[in-house]
Amino acid sequence: MASITRQRIKKHLVPQILKRCQQQQQRRYNHSMSFRLHTSRPIIPSISSSSHFLLPTSSSSFTTSTKPQLLPLPQLQNQKKTHRNLAKYTVSKINSRGELKYTEMTLSEILKDSPSIHIRDLFALNLTSQCEVPFLPSVGGKEKESVTVGGEKTDVALFSRKSSLSKRAGSVILPRGEEVVMSIGTVRAVIGKDSAFLLDAHKPSIKVLAEELSEIFTYKMKEALENSTGQNLTLDTQYNVRATYMTEPFELVFIEEILRDACDTFNRRIRLYEPIVDSLLDRVSNEVFSESGVHRLVPIKDSLQEFEMTVKQGLDCLKHLLDNDEDMLGLLLTEGAAARSKGQNLQLKKHESVELLLEEYARQFNGILQEIHYLLQRVQSKQELVALSLDGYRNRMIRMNLYMSIAAVGLATSTTVAGYFGMNLVSGMEESGVAFQYVIVSTTLASLGIFGGSLSYISGSRMKKRAMGRLEEIEAIKGALSDMNALDYAAKSMIQNETPMCRTDFKQKLLEGRKYNNARQLKDDEVDLLFDVLDKNMDGNIYMEDFSAIEQFTFKHRNVD
């Protein structure tokens, strides 16, 4: 009896258990591959050594829409190794002699050449490679390309958009013993005391930066060799002649050049934003009563805010380093290595050179941030102006509705006349031959007049004229305040001459003050605006007595004399 039971279990129950295990592992694989859509790191579920596994046959992680095949464990392990080896990144290596070399490296190779950094530091940089899935929109009415991941058909463009959301890395400068991990703007770098890696070197902008850095270090090495006396020449591990830099070590020069490139890039972007903002604001001014004007401002505002976030991240990174003396000492890789070779620690005051460097670029980042705030405030002011104009137009329409209701009530009184004439009573005008024509013509003309007046009121021509007048006044204020140095020059001239200033003299001094400044052309309405504001007595002259601050300055000036 027991042997019969064992045979039945072996014949029926064991195949069912194996089938359920295979179905369970297939569900695990589908889940892991669907999860891989939203992450950059591949996830391979654990399996037993005797099982089979469902995996696409292509060496890539994603294949075109085909039916998955069942692969044995050895082939699965080969697929796993192939996937890891596919993730290669273009790296430009620059050494202290200015030699530039481009190479393809995996994360393991990068970590091998830079043993002080951790894999988490590289993940934080959000590196990109040339083998990533590109964005492929539909062209010519054809269907978009799809991939099969875990048995599900997925749009390639959708996956590309999802993965691009996680490609925005923050700004960091991380000392890691013998290396420094740096990310500012679009530059990602791993810096050592004698050489450095520029990551994402497949991008054209990084290639240009790498060539510039190579030229800089080549020139510095040439200059150091020409000015050398023989005492500052050393040999590296490959017995190549090295010349100690006359000013700063390699790592500080590299960090400074990256910060300089970031500042130049941000300043160029500001110069590009300015004409775009000016053009959009001019268009919105011409369509102040249209809602499309507000919609035009949304993209430029979003773009400026994103740019502001990038610059602010860089500024916060520099401020964090300035608040931490130990991190600033960690950037001195050359001096730190020399101190460790002697069994000593770096003195705390050594961070002063790094502090001066970071303070200068923090100041430049702060200036760029202030210019971005200025552009954002301009867009915000114009947006608020358009919103107020639209609100005024809506209020006018509501008022018009009220007036029409009142007019309808007024016209209802005249309809009572028709009601009176419609009664079956004798009024004495039944026999008149012209009364009917007079009544028809007069009521028709009255209706046309009311209709035309209502359309004229709704169109708001007077309101548009007033709004355009306000915009011209705002432009005049903007132009008058565009060069405060010229206004200060006019005030100083009045103090030196100690005589009142009329409108003509005031305009002449403003023109002289703007002659060598890169300011806009002075207009008469701008002069009139400034003069009317400063002429408190309204007698056509500006006096020093009108301003207490100028009186105090003059009094002190005379006492000194």
Domain boundaries, the chain: 248-423, 467-560
At residue 232, the pLDDT reads: 52
Average pLDDT over residues 56-82: 44
**Residue 366 pLDDT class (50, 70, 90 cuts):** very high
**Residue 435 pLDDT class (50, 70, 90 cuts):** confident
User: For the ranges 23-27, 30-34, 387-391, which has the lowest average pLDDT?
Assistant: 30-34
Using the predicted structure, report yes or no on whether residue 405 has a pLDDT greater than 60.
yes
Question: In the predicted model, what is the mean pLDDT of the chain?
Answer: 72
Using the predicted structure, report yes or no on whether residue 361 has a pLDDT greater than 50.
yes
Using the predicted structure, report yes or no on whether residue 473 has a pLDDT greater than 80.
no
At residue 535, the pLDDT reads: 78
Q: Which tens digits make up the pLDDT trace of 198-213?
A: 998 888 888 888 999 9
Greater pLDDT, 559 or 535: 535
Greater pLDDT, 560 or 253: 253
Using the predicted structure, report yes or no on whether residue 383 has a pLDDT greater than 90.
no
Sequence-distant (≥ 6) Cβ neighbours of residue 541 within 8 angstroms: 500, 501, 502, 535
Assess if CATH 1.10.238 describes domain 467-560. yes
User: For the ranges 138-147, 255-264, 281-290, 529-538, which has the lowest average pLDDT?
Assistant: 138-147
Average pLDDT over residues 139-148: 42
**Residue 555 pLDDT class (50, 70, 90 cuts):** very low
Q: Which tens digits make up the pLDDT trace of 265-291?
A: 898 888 888 888 887 787 777 766 665
Report how far apart, in Å, the C-alpha atoms of 231 and of each of 228, 243, 262, 337, 356 are.
7, 9, 36, 20, 28
User: For the ranges 210-214, 227-231, 389-393, 426-430, which has the lowest average pLDDT?
Assistant: 227-231
Report how far apart, in Å, the C-alpha atoms of 556 and of each of 178, 549, 552 are.
60, 11, 6
At residue 121, the pLDDT reads: 85
Greater pLDDT, 479 or 241: 479
Tokens of 441: 């013509």
Using the predicted structure, report yes or no on whether residue 422 has a pLDDT greater than 90.
no
Give me the DSSP letters along 214-230: HHHHHHHHHHHHHT--S
At residue 168, the pLDDT reads: 62
At residue 303, the pLDDT reads: 87
Greater pLDDT, 418 or 233: 418
Using the predicted structure, report yes or no on whether residue 483 has a pLDDT greater than 80.
no
At residue 395, the pLDDT reads: 81
What stretch of H or E contains 40? none
At residue 357, the pLDDT reads: 92
Sequence-distant (≥ 6) Cβ neighbours of residue 212 within 8 angstroms: 257, 261
**Residue 35 pLDDT class (50, 70, 90 cuts):** very low
At residue 561, the pLDDT reads: 40
Tell whether pTM > 0.85: no
**Residue 539 pLDDT class (50, 70, 90 cuts):** confident
At residue 60, the pLDDT reads: 38
Rg from Cα positions in the chain: 39
Greater pLDDT, 402 or 26: 402
Angle at 427 between CA 422 and CA 428, to 5 degrees: 135
Using the predicted structure, report yes or no on whether residue 61 has a pLDDT greater than 50.
no
SS3 1: coil
At residue 442, the pLDDT reads: 78
- Whether the CA torsion 371, 372, 378, 381 is positive or negative: it is negative
Closest CA to 164 of 188, 187, 133: 133
At residue 425, the pLDDT reads: 62
Q: Which tens digits make up the pLDDT trace of 327-357?
A: 999 999 888 888 888 888 878 888 888 999 9
CA atoms within 13 A on the CB side of 259: 22
Q: Which tens digits make up the pLDDT trace of 156-206?
A: 444 344 444 445 668 899 998 889 999 998 899 999 988 999 998 888 888
Give me the DSSP letters along 451-502: HHHHHHHHHTHHHHHHHHHHHHHHHHHHHHTS-HHHHHHHHHHHHHHTS-EE
Is 545 within 8 Å of 551 (Cβ atoms)? yes
Using the predicted structure, report yes or no on whether residue 455 has a pLDDT greater than 60.
yes
Q: Which tens digits make up the pLDDT trace of 83-97?
A: 444 578 899 999 988
Average pLDDT over residues 453-461: 68
Question: Per CATH, which fold does 248-423 belong to?
Answer: Methane Monooxygenase Hydroxylase; Chain G, domain 1 (1.20.58)
Tokens of 22: 């295979």
Using the predicted structure, report yes or no on whether residue 433 has a pLDDT greater than 90.
no
Q: Which tens digits make up the pLDDT trace of 501-529?
A: 888 888 888 887 776 555 567 788 888 87
Q: Give the type of residue at 543.
A: Y
Using the predicted structure, report yes or no on whether residue 491 has a pLDDT greater than 70.
yes
Q: How far apart are CA 389 and CA 383, in angstroms?
A: 10
Q: Residue 422, Cβ neighbours under 10 Å: how many?
A: 8
Is 247 within 8 Å of 349 (Cβ atoms)? no
Whose structure tokens read 């991939």?
A: 147
